[in-house]
């Protein structure tokens, strides 16, 4: 019933927004995307392997004064039938419609990222290292649903997000039964960003189930990003997931990361991360040392070269990673 009430509330807010203002603007469209070419050698592999991480095409724009849209596809997923949510085509990363209901408050419907995980919710084109961290084994990933969200409210830059999604997110897609009518994935996030120097967020979610002999999956976490002296950037995040059905995703993840701009186009980055789950064989601790070269310091993520060395406490998991990114 809680999930149903949440969906009804989102529907009411959406209707209020639609009737609150007149539709006047002409539709717009903007095409952009990015390519990430990689060269990777792991300790168990004698040679370097050339590949791509992401090949994305994105269309987004405004339909009118109240509505905007986003469609993102990943050509690296053309041979993967079903995405991590267990339902939608993997090639469709985002299919989102946003309705403005008041000032900076919007309602999104469709497929998009759940508000779980600071690193996960960062754009794949704006990462500080070649790969996202070990915590991606715990987050809820993208899903189909509806979410109310806002940002940059007040002097402290308050933001929030609250959504209801289909049952069974990433790593929990066997939890719940859509036919039951009560088995939704719910997720929320609260954040502040005072003076754009310190950003702090906390998030929480649950994959609900009414299936016999199943337990709901819950997750919570906190993350922060601090910018000092314009050159120094510090990030950290902790998350904890309780998942009785999956020992590989039942546990905690923590990372601390620092980057320093030696020059507008040169940035070394260091990250420590530790994943600790019920299945001891999946426990892992990594130290990553990275070097980023930004070809356009005025737009650092437009064209960049990233070189990482990953030292892992698991046998055979040390790696050298190189990525060249172009955003258009």
- The 10s digit of each residue's pLDDT in 22-58 is 445 578 999 999 999 999 999 888 899 999 999 999 9
- Burial of residue 200 (CB within 10 Å: 0-12, 13-18, 19+) is middle
Lowest average pLDDT, out of 45-49, 167-171, 190-194, goes to 167-171
pLDDT of residue 22: 47
Indicate whether this model's pTM tops 0.95: no
Best CA proximity match to 19, nearest among 117, 99, 113, 114: 99
130, 38 in Cβ contact below 8 A? yes
Assess contact for 78 and 163: CB atoms under 8 A: no
What pLDDT shows up at residue 21? Answer: 45
pLDDT band for position 226 (50/70/90)? very high
Q: How confident is the model at residue 14 (pLDDT cuts 50, 70, 90)?
A: low
Q: CA–CA distance from 296 to each of 108, 264, 299 (Å)?
A: 33, 9, 5
SS3 298: coil
Mean pLDDT calculated for residue range 1-13: 51
pLDDT digits (tens, 9 = 90+) for 129-140: 999 999 999 999
What is each CA distance from 163 to 2, 148, 197, 292, in whole angstroms?
Answer: 12, 6, 27, 35
The DSSP output letter for 27 is P
DSSP 227-286: EETTTEEEEEEEEEEE-TT-GGGSEEEEEEEEEE-SBTTEEEEEEEEEEEESSGGG-EEE
> CA nearest 4: which of 111, 161, 160, 164?
164
- What residues form DSSP beta bridges with 147? 108, 163
Q: What pLDDT is attached to residue 169? A: 63
Q: Which two tokens stand for residue 207?
A: 């994959």
Q: Which residues pair with 198 in a beta bridge?
A: 226
Number of helices (H), then strands (E), in the chain = 2, 16
- Taking the C-alpha atoms of residue 300 and residue 180, their distance in angstroms, rounded to an integer, is 48
CA distance 1 to 14: 20
Mean predicted lDDT score pLDDT of the chain:
90
Residue 167's pLDDT is 85
pLDDT band at 125 (very low <50, low <70, confident <90, very high): very high
- For the chain, domain boundaries: 2-33+58-266+275-281
Q: Which two tokens stand for residue 277?
A: 């789950």
In the numeric block, the tokens 């030696």 are attached to 262
CA distance 142 to 113: 4
Taking the C-alpha atoms of residue 89 and residue 221, their distance in angstroms, rounded to an integer, is 28
User: What whole-number distance in Å separates Cα of residue 75 and Cα of residue 91?
Assistant: 6
For a pLDDT cut of 70, what percent of the chain falls above it? 90
What whole-number distance in Å separates Cα of residue 95 and Cα of residue 85?
14
How many angstroms separate the CA atoms of 98 and 80, rounded?
27
The residues, ordered by sequence, that sit 6+ positions from 152 with a Cβ below 8 Å of its Cβ are 104, 159, 193
Place of tokens 């509806």: 146
């Amino acid at each position: 019933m809680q999930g149903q009430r949440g969906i009804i509330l989102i529907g009411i807010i959406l209707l209020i927004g639609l009737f609150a203002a007149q539709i006047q603007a002409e539709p717009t469209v903007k095409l952009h995307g990015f390519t990430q070419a990689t060269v990777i050698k792991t300790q168990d592999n004698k040679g370097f392997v050339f590949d791509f991480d992401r090949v994305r095409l994105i269309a987004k724009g405004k339909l009118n004064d109240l509505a905007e849209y986003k469609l993102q596809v990943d050509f690296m997923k053309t041979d993967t039938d079903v995405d991590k949510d267990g339902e939608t085509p993997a090639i469709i990363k985002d299919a989102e419609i946003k309705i403005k209901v008041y000032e900076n408050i919007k309602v999104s419907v469709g497929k998009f990222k759940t508000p779980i995980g600071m690193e996960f919710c960062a754009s794949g084109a704006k990462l500080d290292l070649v790969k996202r961290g070990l915590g991606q084994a715990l987050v809820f990933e993208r899903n189909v649903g509806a979410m109310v969200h806002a940002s940059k409210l007040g002097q402290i830059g308050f933001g929030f997000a609250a959504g209801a999604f289909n049952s069974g997110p990433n790593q929990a897609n066997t939890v719940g039964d859509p036919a039951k009518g009560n088995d939704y994935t719910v997720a929320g996030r609260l954040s502040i960003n005072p003076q754009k120097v310190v950003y702090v967020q906390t998030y929480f979610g649950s994959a609900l189930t009414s299936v016999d002999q199943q337990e709901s999956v819950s997750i919570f976490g906190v993350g922060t990003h601090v910018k000092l002296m314009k050159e120094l950037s510090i990030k950290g995040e902790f998350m904890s997931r309780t998942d009785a059905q999956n020992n590989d995703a039942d546990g905690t993840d923590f990372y601390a990361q620092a980057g320093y701009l030696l020059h507008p186009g040169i940035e070394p980055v260091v990250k420590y991360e530790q994943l600790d789950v019920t299945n001891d064989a999946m426990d892992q601790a990594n130290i990553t040392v990275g070097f980023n070269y930004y070809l356009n310091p005025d737009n650092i993520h437009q064209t960049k070269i990233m070189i990482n060395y990953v030292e892992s406490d698991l046998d055979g998991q040390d790696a050298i990673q190189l990525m060249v990114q172009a955003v258009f």
